Chains A and B, each alone.
Chain A
């Protein structure tokens, strides 16, 4: 609790200061970002206006004095808006005619406007495929020769209403390219499975990220798509909104704990500002089998965040509608797997998960089982040594008394 890398035991006199700092921070932090134990979470597909269904999913997580809104949409490239408000009564207002027009500004709003404490967005813009043969150097900057990338803005997405599950609070966007000359997606698809949570917990499926009521999990799965090469690696381009001229910061956290994701000691985070603020976190691991067993674990490389210079990112209408046209973006690439080892080619399956949320990112702690075993394992011999020492001491005393009497 005292901050990473800062051992809090044995601090002595200076011990209160980090706590003080934390409590000051907590008081200073706006209500919407403080996080809550449980929330009333509702998933709603906002009905379209006319014509084909427009996938617009609204996740509303209501707490005692804050509301979080996650708005997912596959209009244009798949995108999500994160909005935190400091009132339990804020709501989403959609003006479809404006949202579907070429100038969608203000077509989508969270009201009342002055209750908004934090807002940002993520856009998933492109799916990359690399030819990794002859790329033995794992640490190389480029994972291989790049095939023509798939633009996710030019995908056809299924109707999200069909996959909406209010029991598990999840929904899946499943898509394939509108133009698929190589028929790569004939038997396959790219899926974005979104799940919200009403309380904290941990899924059964690796990498078992700890979630809270303030977070929302995204699982990206590529299934059954025919790769263009024998050893194709896939990658994903993600764009984020940056309010300041600088890009959001990327953090690599190293921990001692790999109980929930065996042999993965790292947690990557994207932070939009100083905490508490919006965050995205993930373990740098993807899986090439559905069970997510350890032998199917793929390393996940990440590029640095950079302003997209080379080309214009495809516009997401919901991001444009909420933030207006004067916005800056930063982008980063994720690459799954390496030229050696398990890969997508094994079973034509790839899945990767991330958590996005608002407030303080969830932190893993040592599990009760580990602590229990440690307590018993170290406590028992300690107690026995102590007991043995006492017995020896007492015996010695008796013995000496006995001697004295004689």
Chain B
């Protein structure tokens, strides 16, 4: 969910970073034989770009593993929905705090290269522990795994942004942010559609369902995290090499976070925070619980339910850059936010109160989500002085994670006791409460 900040930065036109200026075309590396190995050459930057994209792939792929395997997890681990949603809550808890310190850790403690390696290490370990929880039939181990995974996940995204700024500032930065965001969405989509299939293949080879099958499936899913880790190593090597050849500085997030700024936040900013929380909690926990909803209410097959559950991601991948450009051109962010909220409200109501084809509602939700992300995050920049921007974004992500953690648990509880209709009504109330703001 941290990609909103990427969007924001992309739209703000280049971020707040002072580092990485020295990529000016002064090729010192005349001896380097091919363009691919020349850090100042476009071909080399494209190689770096693809590494950056795959760096985030693992974490996005694994973030939504629980949603893709909801029925399997609940069945094999014998947990109710409330406990299932704890898997998402445990991801969010560490990020309530870490959003403030991710930048600090990268700038002051690890440096960008080691920071990236450490964070991708965390997601690998987290995913492995998560999978081991399945193999040993220990749900608490799975929760621990998600906690470790969450510790690395959001900070890795910050690191990814920092790399992007460091390599592409003043060149193709907006495009790079757009591509990274698309890649994140692709990771989520691939996960949604692949994991169920993978589970059935593992089931066929092991001969039965059960927690072992689940664990092995998650372990295989963890390969994407290893891929991310390899990308982190490769990036660290290339970045160091570029520093040696081009005398390029190590990238910095440049984030200055002063918690004391919080007391100076204006009322509109607080409203933006509340809107942000209310909106996101009505989209992401719903996607987390959506698969069973589509299977039971609309009689979708498992694959079809996965497909429709991932459509929000599919739509926002290409639409985010388009809407970003669109909102930039037209301005009037508030109007667009209102439009996005109204559309989401309509789509939730369609899902709750009609038996219409849910593709309509989910596509609508995908479009409105993309629009909101593009319109809401840049609004922060209008209401906050620039020196507080880092704190404001950190705080916004923090409250968003806090909201997601709490609402995930509540949503699971509601579903277990009151069913999906009530859950949808609850989401509608969440979305609608923003209008009252």
Q: Are A377 and B78 in contact (CB under 8 A)?
A: no
A 252-295 binary contact with B (CB < 8 Å = 1; else 0): 00101111111111000000000000000000000000000111
Given the contacts A263-B415, A295-B79, A340-B75, A258 and B433 also touching, CB distance less than 8 Å? no
Do residues A259 and B421 form an inter-chain contact, with CB atoms below 8 A? yes
Contact with B along A364-384 (1 / 0, CB 8 A): 001001100110111011001
Contact with A377, one of B293, B355, B420, B432 (Cβ below 8 angstroms): B432
Whether the pair B80, A385 counts as a contact (CB closer than 8 A) is: no
Are A256 and B416 within 8 A (Cβ)?
A: no
Is B428 interfacial (CB-CB < 8 Å)?
yes
Q: A256-B355, A263-B296 are in contact. Are A374 and B428 (CB under 8 A)?
A: yes
With both beta carbons as reference points, the residue of chain B lying nearest to A372 in the complex is identified as B425
Chain B residue contacts of A261, Cβ below 8 A: 419
Task: Report yes or no: B420 in contact with A258, Cβ–Cβ below 8 A.
Answer: yes
B42 in contact (CB, < 8 A): no
Question: Is A112 interfacial (CB-CB < 8 Å)?
Answer: no
Also in contact, A263 and B420, with CB within 8 A (given A293-B80, A342-B75, A381-B435): yes
Q: Taking the complex as formed, is A149 at the interface, i.e. its CB lies under 8 A from any CB of chain B? A: no
Contact B432 A262 (CB under 8 A): no
A370 touches B75 (CB 8 A): no
Is B132 on the interface with A (CB-CB < 8 A)?
no
In the complex, A13 Cα to B203 Cα: how many Å? Answer: 58
Given known contacts A256-B352, A259-B419, A294-B416, A265 and B297 CB-to-CB distance under 8 angstroms: yes
User: In the bound complex, do residue B75 and residue A260 qualify as a contact, i.e. CB atoms below 8 Å apart?
Assistant: no
Closest residue on chain B to residue A371 by CB atoms: B425
With both beta carbons as reference points, the residue of chain A lying nearest to B428 in the complex is identified as A377
Interface residues of B in 72-111 (CB under 8 A from A): 74-75, 78-81
Contact A381 B432 (CB under 8 A): yes
Give the complex CA separation of A159 and B119 in angstroms: 69
Q: Decide: B416 and A262 in contact? CB cutoff 8 A.
A: yes
Chain A interface size band reads 20 to 34
Closest chain B CB from A370 CB (angstroms): 5
Among B79, B297, B426, the residue within 8 A (CB) of A258 is: B297
Q: Which residue on A lies nearest to B434, using beta carbons?
A: A381
Question: Of residues 398 to 437 in B, which have CB atoms within 8 Å of A's CB atoms?
Answer: 415-422, 425-426, 428-429, 432-433, 435-436
* Chain A, Cβ-Cβ closest to B210: A340
List, in ascending order, chain B residues with CB within 8 A of A346's CB. 78
CA distance A377 to B80 in the complex (A): 28
Q: Is the CB of B435 within 8 A of A257?
A: no
CB 8 Å contact bits of A195-216 with B (1 = contact, 0 = none): 0000000000000000000000
Cα separation A384 to B432 with both chains bound (whole Å): 12
CA distance in complex: A341, B209 (Å): 9
A264: B residues at CB distance < 8 A = 296, 419
Q: Is the CB of B418 within 8 A of A263?
A: no
Contact of A370 among B79, B415, B422 (CB under 8 A): B422
A293 contacts B416, C-beta separation under 8 Å: yes
Q: Which residue of B lies closest to A367 (CB)?
A: B422
Report how far A136 CA is from B81 CA in the complex, Å.
Answer: 24
Task: Indicate if the CB atoms of A256 and B354 lie closer than 8 Å.
Answer: yes
In the complex, the chain A residue whose C-beta lies closest to that of B431 is A377
**Cβ of B352: which chain A residues have Cβ within 8 Å of it?**
256
B292 interface residue (CB < 8 Å to A): yes
Closest A residue by C-beta to B200: A136
From residue 325 to 366 of chain A, which have CB atoms closer than 8 A to chain B? 340-342, 346, 366
Which of chain B's residues 164-212 have a Cβ closer than 8 Å to chain A? 203, 209
**In the complex the two chains form, is B353's CB within 8 Å of A377's CB?**
no
Tell me the minimal C-beta distance from B327 to chain A in angstroms. Answer: 22
**Is B209 touching A385 in the complex (CB atoms < 8 A)?**
no
Report Cα–Cα, A366/B293, bound state, in Å: 18
Contacting residues of chain A (184-201) with chain B, CB-CB under 8 angstroms: none
Neighbour of B425 across the interface among A260, A374, A381, CB < 8 A: A374
Give 26 pairs: A residue, B residue, CB < 8 Å, sorted on A. Answer: A256-B352, A256-B353, A256-B355, A256-B421, A258-B296, A259-B422, A262-B419, A263-B292, A263-B420, A294-B81, A294-B415, A294-B416, A295-B74, A295-B80, A340-B209, A346-B78, A370-B425, A373-B425, A373-B429, A374-B428, A376-B429, A377-B425, A377-B428, A377-B429, A377-B433, A381-B433
The 9 closest A-B pairs by CB, nearest first: A381-B435, A262-B419, A258-B419, A377-B429, A377-B432, A295-B80, A265-B297, A341-B75, A263-B296
Starting from the known contacts A256-B352, A376-B429, 15 additional A-B residue pairs (CB-CB under 8 Å) come to A256-B297, A258-B297, A258-B419, A258-B421, A261-B419, A262-B415, A263-B293, A293-B416, A366-B421, A369-B422, A373-B425, A374-B428, A377-B433, A384-B436, A385-B435
Which residues of B approach A to under 8 Å, CB–CB? 74-75, 78-81, 203, 209, 292-293, 296-297, 352-355, 415-422, 425-426, 428-429, 432-433, 435-436
